[in-house]
Structure formats: C-alpha cells, structure tokens
C-alpha cells in the first residue's frame, strides 16, 4: 500500500484521540519510507515513552478520580487549574464549572481576607499546612472542610499550590457511626 505524503499528513493531523492511532501513524511512516531507516530505533524509543506516559497518566487519573477528597491545583493568583470529580459529591459542582474560576469564590462572604491572611502566614513558614475552614457549596451552604495545602514550584518559578479538601462532616458521621457499633 503506497501512500503519498498528503495522505500521511492528513492521517497524522486527524484527531482521533487513540494511542493506537499514533502507533498506526508511526507504522505508516516506516512502511512507506517517509522516515529514513536510521530513525526507526528513535521512533521505537519515542513510542515506548508515549506508552509509558499514557500508563502513568491512567494510573494517576485512577487515583485522583477515586479519591474521596477534593484535589485541586491552584495558580499563584488563586485560579483553579484542576479539580477532581469528587467535587460533585461534596460541593455539588461539576469540575468544569470551577476550572478557571477563583478559589476565593468558594469562601464565604467576609471571610476571604481572614482566610488568605491565615493561609499566607503559614505557607511562608511551611511547605505543607493543614487547617480547618468553611467553603460554599453550589447552593451557597457552608461546608466544613480540613484543608491540606502544599506549595509546589514550577518551571516558570511561580508558586502553584496543590490542595486537598476532606469533608469534616463525613469524618464526624463516620466517627459517630463507629462509636455506635
């Protein structure tokens, strides 16, 4: 099967989303001598790296999506960059409703200055802090949480933060049901 360069380019640029499609494109490039033979080993190494990355992503995704805690990644300006799907159960938001929004939108009115002052004082001294606070769920109801905040650096040397929220009410309910048994 001979393909011309236009067919190869259209196949490569089509967005199928499947890792197997990437492998098929690699194979087409090799079979049709689009890639010189001396690059075949390099292409195999690239393929191995892609599959390892896909496996790592799948494992990480499984962990974050199965966590009962809400996992966030927040920019240095307070914008939510990532939020796990457990936010639906605890705060009643879909993740896509919060991506790009300010984390401050989840803090009760009048509490924002106190919240950030307390947090920033601690984060300057420690890389990881744990504290209790209230957040607002989608209906505006206060929801008590334990927050675990970790400062991480990035390649652009701007601090970003990872945040895990644990429902205090879930812990209290579990402890009270355990005490009854």
Q: Model confidence over 118-165: pLDDT tens digits?
A: 777 666 677 777 777 888 999 999 888 888 777 666 555 455 555 566
**Predicted model pTM:** 0.59
Specify the 3-state DSSP secondary structure of 136.
Answer: strand
Please calculate the CA angle 68-70-73 and round it to the nearest 5 degrees: 145
Q: How confident is the model at residue 71 (pLDDT cuts 50, 70, 90)?
A: confident
| Domains of the chain by residue range | 5-63, 67-180
Mean pLDDT confidence for 96-108: 92
Name which of 3-12, 34-43, 108-117, 135-144 the model is least confident about: 3-12
**What fold, for 67-180?**
Beta-Lactamase (3.30.450)
Euclidean distance between CA atoms 30 and 36, whole angstroms: 8
Burial tier of 180 (Cβ tally within 10 Å: 0-12, 13-18, 19+) = exposed
Euclidean distance between CA atoms 4 and 2, whole angstroms: 7
Burial tier of 93 (Cβ tally within 10 Å: 0-12, 13-18, 19+) = middle
List the structure tokens of 13.
Answer: 């640029």
User: Quick one: pLDDT at residue 51?
Assistant: 86
């Amino acid at each position: 099967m001979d393909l011309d360069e236009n067919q190869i380019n259209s196949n490569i640029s089509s967005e199928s989303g499947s890792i197997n499609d990437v492998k098929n494109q690699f194979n087409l490039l090799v079979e049709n001598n689009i890639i010189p033979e001396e690059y075949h080993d390099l292409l195999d190494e690239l393929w191995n790296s892609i599959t390892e990355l896909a496996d790592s992503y799948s494992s990480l995704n499984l962990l974050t999506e199965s966590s009962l805690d809400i996992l966030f990644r927040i920019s240095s300006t307070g914008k939510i960059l990532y939020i796990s799907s457990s936010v639906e159960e605890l705060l009643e938001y879909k993740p896509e409703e919060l991506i790009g929004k300010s984390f401050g939108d989840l803090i009760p009115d009048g509490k924002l200055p106190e919240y950030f002052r307390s947090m920033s004082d601690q984060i300057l001294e420690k890389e990881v802090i744990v504290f209790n606070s209230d957040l607002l769920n989608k209906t505006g109801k206060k929801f008590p949480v334990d927050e675990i905040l970790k400062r991480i650096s990035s390649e652009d040397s701007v601090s970003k933060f990872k945040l895990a929220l644990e429902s205090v009410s879930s812990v209290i309910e579990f402890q009270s049901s355990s005490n009854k048994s």
